[in-house]
Amino acid sequence: MAGQGQAGLSSGFPALDAELPGSGWPRGALTELIPAHSGIGELALLQPALLECVKQAPVAVLAPPYRPHAPAWAASLPLERMLWIEASGKEVAWAAECLLDSGALGALLVWLPAQTDARALRRLQLAAEGHAAPAFVFRSLQTLRQASPAPLRLALSGSALGVQVRILKRRGPPCERLLCLPVERPVAQTRLAARLTPVPVLHVLQAAWA
């Protein structure tokens, strides 16, 4: 798929880059990630790309399902370049749209509620367009068969060797391959102590608009 469309941001996994239009994560567009369940290595899958993103601007982590554990993130990313933002319900999609509109991020990671509708997703895709930052949208397994405006959709599952990736949707021809990537599994949460402090969503948005 290399050479089609805008150059992507390398995922750090050659086998995955070879299947992605632009040879990497799309910029200025949504990437929808649907893990079989939380904690299979879905964040570790993004870490090589996020390491490049934080060099440009802060990376926002919006409405994660669990409290982020600083030692796990600090192993590969500078914590001073990370924003943990709390939000819930319809506020999550609204906050994500505002953050993307600001153009002030190196990347956005957002966990959308299952009830987020297609209209909100279309607004997020429009907000992402025109910016160089990738936007990673995590959705629940129950949304697997729902239509989505995201140009890239991946289903993720764990394996003994890392993370299995099935490309559900991409620009260009469909992908029939199941990719198994050597992603390190996350450290057990009971071994980690949290140091990150949540930031209210309105505080972050006011700073972005200042």
Domain 29-157+194-209, what architecture?
Answer: 3-Layer(aba) Sandwich (3.40)
Q: List the beta bridge partners of residue 85.
A: 62, 199
Residue 3 has a pLDDT of 37
Query: Where does residue 171 rank: exposed (0-12), middle (13-18), buried (19+ CB within 10 A)?
Result: middle
Residue 67 has a pLDDT of 78
Which amino acid belongs to residue 80? E
Nearest 5°: CA angle at 149, between 137 and 55?
40
End-to-end Cα separation, the chain, in angstroms:
40
90/143 Cα distance (integer angstroms):
17
Q: List the beta bridge partners of residue 33.
A: 138, 154
pLDDT along the chain (210 residues), means of 10: 65 96 95 92 93 94 84 78 90 94 94 92 93 94 90 93 94 93 63 47 46
Backbone phi and psi for residue 127, each to the nearest 5 degrees, phi listed first: -65, -35
Mutual orientation of helices 118-128 and 91-102 as an angle, nearest 10°?
10
Q: DSSP character for 26? A: P
Instruction: Name residue, tokens 């506020």.
Output: 91
- Quote the tokens at residue 18: 């070879």
Residue 202 has a pLDDT of 45
Residue closest to 152 by CA, chosen among 172, 177, 171 = 171
Residue 6 has a pLDDT of 64
Q: What is the domain partition of the chain in residue ranges? A: 29-157+194-209
Residue 198 has a pLDDT of 57
Residue 199 has a pLDDT of 57
